């Protein structure tokens, strides 16, 4: 006489069939469905070929039943709404990533332009401050401006 076991799905005691001593699920149809489902799941996770075949079978099935998803979406507004919300979220995230990227490139561009302007301005100011009359004029009338100009001209490295 075989020991009785507890079904892995419903938890009820059952007697394994003598041919299948390691049986884990009772014969109830729901529990047998559960057994097949968990077997498929394990198989799908461990066997890439099986996964491939499943995907192919699914595509073939969709080809034979092109109206299924249309009909499903039509009759399941919640599913449709959830799909739409998920799509919206994906779009939002993509837009955010794009904007972030654009911001970075904008900063890089304007920074490049600023550095160029500064280099040109410094060259121009250096020339200007070689003119003794200009320096004398600024010293008398705009000493703060002269100090600023000198600071800019003396700035050795722009990377600092």
CB of 37 to Zn ion, least distance (A): 13
| Residue 28 or 125 having the CB closest to Zn ion | 28
Whichever of 7 and 138 has its CB closer to Zn ion, that residue is 7
CB of 19 to Zn ion, least distance (A): 18
- Nearer of residues 16 and 126 to Zn ion, judged by Cβ: 16
Residue 10 and residue 154: Cα distance in Å, rounded?
A: 84
Helix, strand, coil tally for the chain in percent (to 5): 75, 0, 25
Q: Smallest distance, Å, CB 14 to Zn ion?
A: 7
User: Smaller CB distance to Zn ion: residue 21 or 143?
Assistant: 21
CA angle 64, 69, 71 (to 5 degrees): 105
In angstroms, the CA 53 to CA 41 distance is 13
Q: Where does this chain bind Zn ion (CB under 5 A)?
A: 7, 9-10, 26, 28, 31
Residue 135: Cβ-neighbour burial (10 angstroms; 0-12, 13-18, 19+) = middle
Q: How far is the CB of 45 from Zn ion (least distance, A)?
A: 23
């Amino acid at each position: 006489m075989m020991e009785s076991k507890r079904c892995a799905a419903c938890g009820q005691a059952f007697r394994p069939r003598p041919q299948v001593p390691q049986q884990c699920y009772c014969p109830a149809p729901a529990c047998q469905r559960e057994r097949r489902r968990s077997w498929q799941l394990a198989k799908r996770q461990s066997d890439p070929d099986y996964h491939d075949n499943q995907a192919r079978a699914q595509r073939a099935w969709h080809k034979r039943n092109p109206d299924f998803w249309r009909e499903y979406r039509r009759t399941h507004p919640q599913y449709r709404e959830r799909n739409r919300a998920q799509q919206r979220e994906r779009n939002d995230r993509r837009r955010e990533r794009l904007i972030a990227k654009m911001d970075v490139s904008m900063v890089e561009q304007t920074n490049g332009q600023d550095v160029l302007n500064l280099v040109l301005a410094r060259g121009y100011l250096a020339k200007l401050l070689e003119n003794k009359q200009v320096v004398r004029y600024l010293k008398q009338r705009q000493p703060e401006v002269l100090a600023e100009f000198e600071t800019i001209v003396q700035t050795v490295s722009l990377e600092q």
